Chain A
Amino acid sequence: GENVEQHPSTLSVQEGDSAVIKCTYSDSASNYFPWYKQELGKGPQLIIDIRSNVGEKKDQRIAVTLNKTAKHFSLHITETQPEDSAVYFCAVSGGSYIPTFGRGTSLIVHP
């Protein structure tokens, strides 16, 4: 099956700074890479995704980059705000295996 590694497990930044979370995966057949945000007491919510035919995708302050050769993809959040504080999960799917999630990154944005 797929193996997804996510780093860091905890990320603390000051409001206005940028935050970067990275995930690596093992199966080159993977072709879909979503990122989810989970706030306390709620289910994960999709915030951005990227497919293997695209190298970068941006949505306002959030961007995702994909390096298929190196088998890693990253979430970039610019101009962080306190409401960005949450747990972020990457996921990988495609090929014949089930969607697999990373272990999560707890992002803390200090006012």
Chain B
Amino acid sequence: EAGVAQSPRYKIIEKRQSVAFWCNPISGHATLYWYQQILGQGPKLLIQFQNNGVVDDSQLPKDRFSAERLKGVDSTLKIQPAKLEDSAVYLCASSFPTRGTGGTGNTIYFGEGSWLTVV
């Protein structure tokens, strides 16, 4: 079974520039997550999708971050304009759907991550 695919793996940009990350979840997984992991910390959820609808984006800095999941499969996360503190690994993950809020109580499978450095 193919895992969660992410690209690019590494990206270096200057502050105020923009960047976009792409994710393809495991086939059949309706729930998709974007996590931000700053060096030395645990993953922090940015946004959670159930199919192509947003379940939770309460921790997404909406003034600069945006995400979409068209057709309920692939997803893109965009940062514009980037700040120095956005340097982190951006992890995409997916899980099977559940009833209720979606995704809770189910195993989350992570991709390898996209490493962003803002200089």
Which A positions have Cβ atoms within 8 angstroms of B? 6, 31-32, 34, 36, 41-46, 49, 51, 89, 91, 93-104
A30 smallest CB distance to B (angstroms): 9
User: A94 to B103, alpha carbons, bound, how many Å?
Assistant: 9
* A95–B43 touching, CB < 8 Å: no
User: A34 to B104, alpha carbons, bound, how many Å?
Assistant: 12
Task: Please name 19 pairs of A and B residues whose Cβ atoms are closer than 8 Å in the assembled complex, sorted by A.
Answer: A32-B105, A32-B106, A43-B112, A43-B113, A44-B43, A44-B91, A45-B110, A46-B108, A46-B109, A93-B104, A94-B104, A96-B101, A97-B104, A98-B45, A98-B56, A99-B108, A101-B42, A101-B43, A103-B41
Interface residues in B, total, Cβ within 8 A = 26
Which residue on B lies nearest to A34, using beta carbons?
A: B107
Which B positions have Cβ atoms within 8 angstroms of A? 4, 33, 40-45, 48, 56, 58, 91, 93, 100-101, 103-113
Number of inter-chain CB pairs below 8 Å:
61
* B112–A102 touching, CB < 8 Å: no
With known contacts A31-B105, A34-B107, A102–B113 Cβ distance under 8 A: no
**Chain B residues with CB under 8 A of A32:** 104-106
* A46–B107 touching, CB < 8 Å: yes
**Chain B residues with CB under 8 A of A100:** 45
